[in-house]
Amino acid sequence: MIAAYNEQDVIEPVVRDVQQLWPNVVVVDDGSTDATFDAAGREAKFVLRHVINRGQGAALQTGIEYALRKGAQYIVTFDADGQHRPEDIAAMIEPIADGRCAITLGSRFLGRRAVNLPWTRRVMLRLAVLFTRVVNRMPLTDAHNGLRCFSREAAMRITITADRMAHASELIDLTRRTHLPYQEVPVEIRYTSYSLAKGQSSLEALRILFHYVMARISR
């Protein structure tokens, strides 16, 4: 499933590429102000729309719930901006299909090299990983990778309640709490100039941290 916010330029080719390999694509338009919904509707098999923007975490949750309703056995979250490769999806599902784990998390640091990764972004990611190791007690090499796969059982156990982007860290937390086996899978991230422009600034990262801490305190 693909959560999208104002991605009218790239959503069609992204969905098309994925659907060639995996025909059941669910797109959730998170209250986009551009023509994302229409563009997605031209390609995707299932399209949902949030009437107002609720954040990526909420959009993912909507997509996951919808997929579960439709009887999905495996749910893969995939970014709308073309950073992910559809070819990596198979590698995400395989360990779960084999019964080795219930959740797979894509990692750009395992094995393969990220393509065109600027050093500033690399440092921010390393810090995020350190944060995850210390706070979530889960050793992950890539804490902010949107490419993830959940078995049906895992998806049902996870409820994303975080607002805005804080869901990335909360998702790691929830994964740990399910006590279901998980595995990191090497994937490749394509850093095009488009996706880099949309990426998180350092200020965004601070805001995410704040929201995450608040969620932890007020649980």
Number of alpha helices (DSSP H) and beta strands (DSSP E) in the chain: 9, 7
The residue within the footprint of other proteins, chosen from 6, 8, 46, 205 (CB under 8 A), is 46
Q: Tokens 């709308």 correspond to what residue?
A: 80
Task: Give residues 187-216 in contact with other proteins (rule: CB under 8 A).
Answer: 214
Residue (62 or 145) nearer to other proteins, CB? 62
**Amino acid of residue 97:** A
Task: Give residues 151-190 in contact with other proteins (rule: CB under 8 A).
Answer: 161, 163
12 binds other proteins (CB under 8 A): no
> Could you give the string, one character per residue 22-41, with x where binding to other proteins holds by CB under 8 A and - elsewhere?
-xxx--x--x------x--x
Are the beta carbons of 82 and 6 closer than 8 angstroms? no
| CA 148/CA 71 separation, integer angstroms | 18
**Cβ of 115: how many Cβ atoms within 10 Å?**
13
The residue within the footprint of other proteins, chosen from 47, 80, 92, 172 (CB under 8 A), is 47
Alpha helix stretches (DSSP H) within 135-201: 152-157, 167-178, 193-198
The residue within the footprint of other proteins, chosen from 56, 62, 83, 132 (CB under 8 A), is 62
219 binds other proteins (CB under 8 A): no
Q: At a CB cut-off of 8 Å and minimum separation 6, what does 21 contact?
A: 86, 87, 89, 90
Least separation in angstroms between CB 47 and other proteins: 5
60 membership: H or E segment, kind and range: helix 56-69
Residue (76 or 140) nearer to other proteins, CB? 76
Interface positions with other proteins (CB under 8 A)? 15-16, 19-20, 23-25, 28, 31, 38, 41-52, 54, 58, 61-62, 65-66, 69, 161, 163, 214, 218
